[in-house]
Amino acid sequence: MQRFSILFLFIVLIGVSSCIKKPDVPNTTNTTTQVDHYGGAKLDNAFSIIQTADEGYAMIGHTFSFGDGNHDDIFLVKTDSDAKELWSKNYGGIEDDRGKRIYQTLDGGYFILGNTNSEGEGSSDMFFMKVDMHGNRQWMNTFGDVLFDEGTAIVSIVDDGYFLVGGITDELTAKKDVFVVKTSADGNETWRKQYGGDADEYAFDALDVGDGILILGFNNSKDLVGDIYLVKIDYEGMMMWERIIEDSGYHICNSMAMSSDGGVILSGIYEHEGAEENDVYLMKIDVSGNTIWEKTYGRSGKWNYDEAYDVIESSDQGIVVSGRYKSAMLVIKTDADGNEIWRKTFGNDDAQLTKIAFSVIENSNTEIVICGGQFEGDSGDIILYRLTQDGERIE
């Protein structure tokens, strides 16, 4: 796969989101009949899943099936513990809006982060929205400039609000920087800051690592896309350090997770120099950004594309990665040192039907839960699969 097409995929995944002038009403025209499929007759997708306080699940993404039918709306799906849909809501305006991340609040409601083309200052703004436990919108704030800006990660600080992380594009130079907005507990802006150098930098994920916020993104100083970019800031937004992790091949990481030993696991895609194939890429670092180990996982051969989109540490201190292999959903489990234990694919090599697992969690029963999208032409559904710790699907 060419590097440009990989970058395009990542930018599409990060989204556009919010605004809202339509009434908040449940969707009653779900055309799917399977318990693990959600959506309507057109293209729907989920980027992120959480387990909720009632042992069910909430998934956030976008829908083309509901709303005006001409633009994407933010799409929230709530299920019970057996993954049966309880309700879904769409939120949107006159342009494309997408949800990227979801976080459950103490009152049972949800924070949603993403992008809106419908409201705000520019062509796309970061949005931060609060809905109640039934999905009814309570408030929404937008942040950004006049060009393309978006939100990709939420970090909660106990009793001290939230860090919203993403990217912002300069109005004059069109240069991209990492964008961080600190808000109060009720979503009002406290401060905003940008991070980056002369090249484009962009953020995909962020973690609270105990003494500050670690942000993961990319830097394109070397080539069309470039290398892994890490920046650590304190809780007041002051930069503690930044690091570009270079390689002779092309690699990009879009997700990270804390490990129980205090390290950080990064996951993404590695393209070997001169090869037309991708591998799943894992790297473990310490909280100072020093590499502990790195590994790739894939099948050799032209056009073999293994890609990771999310990573967690499992309850047995293993590592679980979700993504895709060619047109099938891919899940890989390793031990704590990154040694592969098993890999599973769900789907086949049918180029007409593509399944991608964009998000993975472990639920309270230690089951692995993956969600994402199943796409064929101009239609697609959100999908959710539950797996045992051995990778067997729970029907």
pLDDT at position 171 over 90: no
Please, is 146 exposed, middle or buried when counting C-beta atoms within 10 Å of its C-beta (0-12, 13-18, 19+)?
middle
Q: Which of 77-91, 231-245, 260-274 has the lowest mean pLDDT?
A: 260-274
Which residues 6+ apart lie within 8 Å of 267 measured at CB? 253, 254, 255, 256, 280, 281, 282, 283, 308, 309, 310, 311, 321, 323
What distance in Å separates the CA atoms of residue 108 and residue 392, rounded to the nearest whole number? 31
| More confident of the two residues 312 and 1 | 312
| More confident of the two residues 72 and 89 | 89
pLDDT at position 34 over 60: no
| More confident of the two residues 34 and 387 | 387
Q: What percent of the chain has pLDDT over 90?
A: 62
| More confident of the two residues 63 and 22 | 63
pLDDT at position 20 over 60: no
pLDDT at position 6 over 50: no
pLDDT at 391: 96
pLDDT at position 163 over 60: yes
Q: Hey, which residues does 128 pair with through a beta bridge?
A: 113, 141
pLDDT class of 61 with cuts at 50, 70, 90? very high
CA-closest candidate to residue 183, choices 174, 192, 195? 192
What distance in Å separates the CA atoms of residue 358 and residue 311, rounded to the nearest whole number? 10
Report residue 392: phi and psi, to 5°. -85, 135
What distance in Å separates the CA atoms of residue 359 and residue 8, rounded to the nearest whole number? 19
pTM > 0.85: yes
Supply 255's token pair. Answer: 């997700």
pLDDT at 160: 80
pLDDT at position 89 over 90: yes
pLDDT at position 334 over 90: yes
| More confident of the two residues 280 and 93 | 280
- CA-based radius of gyration for the chain: 19
CA-closest candidate to residue 77, choices 315, 389, 372, 394? 372
Domain positions in the chain are: 1-143, 247-395
pLDDT at position 276 over 70: no
Mean pLDDT of the chain: 86
Please, is 213 exposed, middle or buried when counting C-beta atoms within 10 Å of its C-beta (0-12, 13-18, 19+)?
buried
pLDDT at 174: 81
pLDDT at 377: 84
pLDDT class of 213 with cuts at 50, 70, 90? very high
How many residues are recorded in the chain? 395
pLDDT at 13: 45
CA-closest candidate to residue 13, choices 35, 53, 45? 45
Sheet-wide strand order for 291-297: 250-258, 264-271, 278-285, 291-297
Can you tell me whether residue 6 is helix, strand or coil?
helix
Sheet-wide strand order for 97-104: 97-104, 110-116, 125-131, 137-143
Please, is 390 exposed, middle or buried when counting C-beta atoms within 10 Å of its C-beta (0-12, 13-18, 19+)?
exposed
What distance in Å separates the CA atoms of residue 339 and residue 333, rounded to the nearest whole number? 8
pLDDT at 247: 76
Q: Which of 65-74, 123-132, 153-162 has the lowest mean pLDDT?
A: 65-74
pLDDT class of 272 with cuts at 50, 70, 90? confident
pLDDT at position 24 over 60: no
Pick the CATH number of 247-395 from 3.90.180.10, 3.40.50.2000, 1.10.940.10, 2.120.10.30: 2.120.10.30
Residue that the structure tokens 């395009």 belong to:
8
